[in-house]
Structure 1
């Protein structure tokens, strides 16, 4: 469940950064078309990876339920952090990507 949560948040952050408005607000400039596409693909791949992690950890029945919970929690935290602490939202996404290999290796 932890790995799924650690992959969901950066996935949503990548999808968020693939939009011109959010990218300009957070980083100060509009993304190029190539960067926008890369962020969009990366975000979807991270979300798919979180689905795989949840199913691998708990099976299909409980894994899908845990994945939905991870999706809701990560989306809610991003939505609440983005308007008030945008730099913290980016920092949390980066930390999620850095810590996820450690969570993948944990038994």
Structure 2
């Protein structure tokens, strides 16, 4: 479940950064079209990988329920942190991407 949480938070951060307003707030400039599409694709890919991680860990019945809970928790964390600590969001997303391989290895 930790792997799904890390992937969800990173995915939502990628989707957030694909928007002009949030990209400008966090990084100081508007994204190019190619970067915007890459962030959007990467965000959706990470969310899909989080679904696969949740389902693989506990099966379809409980995995989907846990995935929905992880989606809500990570989105809530992002929504609460973004207005007050935007730089913390970037560092947490980077740290969660770095921690994903460790969380995947811890499952085995």
Give, in angstroms, the shift of residue 92 of structure 1. Answer: 0.6
Give, in angstroms, the shift of residue 53 of structure 1. Answer: 0.0
Give, in angstroms, the shift of residue 48 of structure 1. Answer: 0.1
Q: For the residues of structure 1 that align with 2:18 and 2:78, how far apart are their CA atoms?
A: 14
1:3-82 residue pairs with structure 2 within 5 A? 3-82=3-82
Q: Please identify runs of 4+ aligned residues in structure 1 that moved more than 4 A.
A: none
Q: Could you list the per-position Cα deviations for residues 55-106 of structure 1 after superposition, in whole angstroms to 9, with x for gaps in the alignment?
A: 0000000000000010000000000000000000111100110000000011
Q: For the residues of structure 1 that align with 2:6 and 2:101, how far apart are their CA atoms?
A: 10
Give, in angstroms, the shift of residue 50 of structure 1. Answer: 0.1
Give, in angstroms, the shift of residue 12 of structure 1. Answer: 0.1
State the SS of the aligned residue for 1:31: coil
Q: For the residues of structure 2 that align with 1:35 and 1:67, how far apart are their CA atoms?
A: 28
State the SS of the aligned residue for 1:30: coil
2:90 is aligned with 1:87: no
Count of residue pairs brought into register by the alignment: 107
| TM-score, normalised via structure 2 length | 0.98
- Structure 1 alignment gaps of length 5 or more: none
